[in-house]
Amino acid sequence: MGRICERSVKRVLVVLVALGCLCVPLALAGCTAASATAHETPTPNASNAAHAQSTPSLEPSPTAVAVAAFSCARGSLPVTSNSTQTSCAAQSANGVATVHATYTFTGAGSFVDENLLIAAGWMIAGLVNEDGGDFSGTWYLYFNQGSWIAWGPTQDGAMGVWASVPVKSAPIRCGTVFTGDTLPQVKVPLPHGTQTVAVFQISPFCLQDVASFYTTTLAAAGWASDGPFQVANASGTGVAIASATFTRNSVSVHLSLIGAAGTPTEIGIN
């Protein structure tokens, strides 16, 4: 599942909701803050009292709870009943069940029952608005322990759903050391195993470990950091955001790492 295409203007939000909607900008190329009304539902009780720290620090990983795997069967994916499935592929490999389905276009904001996801333990991880001359749309991302689900428009005008659920449900534990892959379309390496899903780059590692990976790897490659990753923590159904800027040969990159205790990490590179 590759990145769909490049757009001329990009706007990225991480939505943290508390008695309304608190939107925190996520750093990707050309980002500008979008209106909080872009994502009116659901309304989980995430804390808006975020605070900055010098090093990534998350709550201990939660106790493992079974997460139902999605399939191509009718009613398995949490889409609205008036959506007509046009294609679906499901497979299990390396202990992970994945699904990619497409549906007739109904509008991203009303396509998936987000309240149902939250009731099942899923957390809002990202909302991305991208506007371009030939293609635009809104994409959503949710995490639940080691699982993720994303949805949004496809380039051919359909609605797409991408989901990944480990066969053995468990939170992602911190303390893993891993290597990275250098890709031609990004300025810095991505952790090995990172998937590009629609507009998201999802790494199967704890946020703290991804931050450590970049601190070590970029320093070894001659990048100078403007300081340790700064973390805005959120409670409830929110996610944490760790950010830092690195510079080499007068070129700067800003990293935003998005995740919660026990979840994968979404990586934004500007």
Distance CA 25, CA 172 (A): 25
* Residue 156 pLDDT exceeds 90: no
**Rounded mean pLDDT of 193-221?**
95
pLDDT-derived band of residue 144, with 50, 70 and 90 as boundaries? very high
pLDDT-derived band of residue 3, with 50, 70 and 90 as boundaries? very low
What pLDDT is stored for residue 51 in this prediction? 36
pLDDT-derived band of residue 217, with 50, 70 and 90 as boundaries? very high
| 108: nearest Cα among 32, 162, 174 | 162
pLDDT-derived band of residue 203, with 50, 70 and 90 as boundaries? very high
Q: With beta carbons less than 8 A apart as the criterion, state whether 50 and 23 touch.
A: no
Q: Among 57-66, 192-201, 214-223, which is the least confidently predicted range?
A: 57-66
Instruction: Give strand ranges (E) for the chain.
Output: 9-16, 22-25, 85-93, 96-103, 123-131, 137-144, 147-153, 159-166, 180-181, 190-191, 195-197, 200-203, 224-225, 230-232, 240-248, 251-259, 265-269
Average pLDDT of every residue of the chain: 78
**Rounded mean pLDDT of 65-82?**
89
pLDDT-derived band of residue 1, with 50, 70 and 90 as boundaries? very low
Q: What is the pTM of this model?
A: 0.76
Q: What does DSSP say about strands 190-191 and 200-203: parallel, antiparallel, or unpaired? A: unpaired
Residues of the chain with pLDDT > 70, as a percent, come to 73
What pLDDT is stored for residue 207 in this prediction? 95
What pLDDT is stored for residue 26 in this prediction? 30
What pLDDT is stored for residue 56 in this prediction? 63
Distance CA 225, CA 248 (A): 9
Task: Give per-residue pLDDT as tens, 22-61.
Answer: 332 333 233 333 322 333 333 333 323 333 344 566 666 6
- Between 62 and 82, whose confidence is greater? 82
User: Cα torsion at 6, 270, 240, 265 (round to 10°)?
Assistant: 60
What pLDDT is stored for residue 232 in this prediction? 87
What pLDDT is stored for residue 184 in this prediction? 80
Task: Give per-residue pLDDT as tens, 98-139.
Answer: 999 999 876 667 789 888 899 999 999 988 888 765 667 899
